[in-house]
Amino acid sequence: MSLLLLVLFSLASLTAAEIRHADIRNDDRPIIAFDEFGFTHHGQLELNITQLSFSGPPNPDTSILSKLGFFLCTRDAWLHVLQQIEDAEITCALGSDSVKKVFTFDALPNPIPTEWNLLYPETDADQYTLVFANCLPQLKISMNVRSAMYNLEGGKSDRRDYLSAGKTVLPRVYFLFSMIYFFLAAFWISVLYKKRLTVFGIHFFMLSVVVLKALNLLCEAEDKSYIKRTGSAHGWDVLFYIFSFLKGITLFTLIVLIGTGWSFLKPYLQNKEKKVLMIVIPLQVVANIAQVVIDETGPFGQDWVTWKQVFLLVDVVCCCAVLFPIVWSIKNLREAARTDGKAAVNLMKLTLFRQYYIVVICYIYFTRVVVYALETITSYKYLWTSIVAGELATLAFYVFTGYKFKPEAHNPYFVIDDEEEEAAAEQLKLDDEFEL
Ligand SMILES: *[C@@H]1O[C@H](CO)[C@@H](O)[C@H](O)[C@H]1NC(C)=O
């Protein structure tokens, strides 16, 4: 556990967030993509290049250096550039008129300096990627690049907003959701107090899941607002990763525990159910480390794709694994309903577990697939809407789980005497008529 926190710490302090530092050594890649950012009409790009040096042709003369430089490019424009290169209209991306040239190296004074600073205003609002192009095949370049992209708040003022155009409302969104979860936690405590005679261990576990979710969102709000103001993450991101790690583990454990019926159907876990937990918890650890690396390296980091795949794989395995205990419970209840006399009560439990199974699948499907689809189809300006949709789905899932498994004296899932059995049978009959 402490080892994991150490890993999280060291990873989190590796890189700054929206201000990026890239170290390029003896690189002859023709295209190097740095970072993507949504500009408003008052955007600016700051480039600081240090330790600049070339190797390859001795003394590259300044005229060919126009084939070396930085540009900004939207995704659509990039497709167009690729088409142009394929049609042999141009040989270098810098030659296309669909890209916005930030600066080419022929603008450097002679002799070429080792350091260079640049401020580039971007007034066409859009989502751009910062790209470096090297169209000189024999030339290798070394440099340290610090890039900072931001929007000026309210246009002329000096206040910088380092969050991309579609993400600038995120601190407020996360804060709002964290308040909702704190409210839910307080409400849950009051429920537990009122129904203290029928409270089970699982209900306290639910409380801890809600509190962790609230803390996680609060740290994410603070982290994002810190990045918004300074361009770098500091301190809060570590807390955020710790809470999201704990939240991930407890949420999956909770789904498994509820699925097995632990503490309200039976006081113990079967061996195969323990095995599910033993698979899910370490996988959540891996998923969280992957998430940290993904967040910190940005989409153009070298290991980004690998870690993204690791994350997706682990996530899919976890999501499938948590469904097994629910399926086992459904099977057991179905058999119990057939064999013992308490058929109606068992059938109601069965209905509940079936509902829960469907809701868990919907929750997983929505937060993984639908949110991803929304993210892909919405314009960069409304990127936050997919995050809100995901959080709303999560909230609905928490509320459903709390409501359906709340502590209650007359909850049919906990009763065993004959009177209750009759009541349950009556209720079922009513339900059936209602459905017909
Ligand atoms: C980077 O370049 C900008 C624009 O010229 C300059 O204002 C800023 O001070 C530079 N930052 C560093 C760390 O050199």
Question: Residue-wise over 320-343: b if at least 16 C-beta within 10 A, else e?
Answer: ebbbbbbebbbebbeebbeeeebb
pLDDT at 102: 93
Give me ligand 1 centre to Cα 116, in Å: 9
Q: Round to whole Å and give the CA distance between 31 and 26.
A: 14
Give me ligand 1 centre to Cα 117, in Å: 6
The mean pLDDT of the chain is: 85
Pocket of ligand 1 (CB under 6 A): 46, 48, 117-119
* Residue with CA closest to ligand 1 atom 11: 48
Give me ligand 1 centre to Cα 231, in Å: 14
| Percent of the chain predicted with pLDDT > 90 | 49
Give me ligand 1 centre to Cα 11, in Å: 26
* Residue with CA closest to ligand 1 atom 14: 48
CATH of domain 2-161: 2.60.120
pLDDT at 124: 93
Q: Among 48, 50, 103, name the best residue to mutate to test ligand 1's pocket (greatest count of ligand atoms within 8 A of Cβ).
A: 48
pLDDT at 436: 41
pLDDT at 59: 62
- The most confident of 107-111, 234-238, 430-434, by mean pLDDT: 107-111
SS3 letters for 253-316? HHHHHHHHCECCCECCCCHHHHHHHHHHHHHHHHHHHHHHHHHHHCCCCCCHHHHHHHHHHHHH
* Residue with CA closest to ligand 1 atom 13: 48
User: Which ligand 1 atom sits nearest the alpha carbon of residue 118?
Assistant: 5
State the chain's maximal CA–CA distance in angstroms: 96
Q: Is pLDDT above 70 for 431?
A: no
Taking the mean position of all CA atoms in its chain, how far away is CA 130? 23
- Per DSSP, the three-state class of 43 is strand
Class (C level, CATH) for 170-435? mainly alpha
Q: How confident is the model at residue 41 (pLDDT cuts 50, 70, 90)?
A: very high
Give me ligand 1 centre to Cα 64, in Å: 27
* Residue with CA closest to ligand 1 atom 9: 117
Q: Is pLDDT above 90 for 184?
A: yes
> pLDDT digit string (tens) for 54-84?
887 656 666 788 889 999 999 889 999 989 9
pLDDT at 421: 57
pLDDT at 211: 96
Q: How confident is the model at residue 7 (pLDDT cuts 50, 70, 90)?
A: very low
Mean pLDDT of 126-134: 93
pLDDT at 393: 96
Give me ligand 1 centre to Cα 189, in Å: 52
Among 320, 254, 257, residue whose Cα is nearest residue 283? 320
Among 214, 284, 278, residue whose Cα is nearest residue 249? 284
Q: Is pLDDT above 70 for 92?
A: yes
Question: Where in the chain are the domains?
Answer: 2-161, 170-435
Helix or strand (DSSP H, E) at 392: helix 383-404
- Using only C-alpha atoms, the chain has a radius of gyration, in whole angstroms, of 28
Q: Is pLDDT above 70 for 417?
A: no
User: Which range (93-97, 141-145, 237-241) has the least confidence?
Assistant: 237-241
pLDDT at 10: 44
Q: How confident is the model at residue 17 (pLDDT cuts 50, 70, 90)?
A: low
Contact 258, 357 (CB under 8 A): no
Give me ligand 1 centre to Cα 46, in Å: 7
Q: Among 19, 20, 46, 70, name the best residue to mutate to test ligand 1's pocket (greatest count of ligand atoms within 8 A of Cβ).
A: 46
User: Which ligand 1 atom sits nearest the alpha carbon of residue 50?
Assistant: 14
Give me ligand 1 centre to Cα 148, in Å: 9
User: Which ligand 1 atom sits nearest the alpha carbon of residue 119?
Assistant: 4
Give me ligand 1 centre to Cα 153, in Å: 19
Q: How confident is the model at residue 298 (pLDDT cuts 50, 70, 90)?
A: confident
Instruction: Tell me the whole-structure pTM to 2 decimals.
Output: 0.85
Mean pLDDT of 236-255: 88
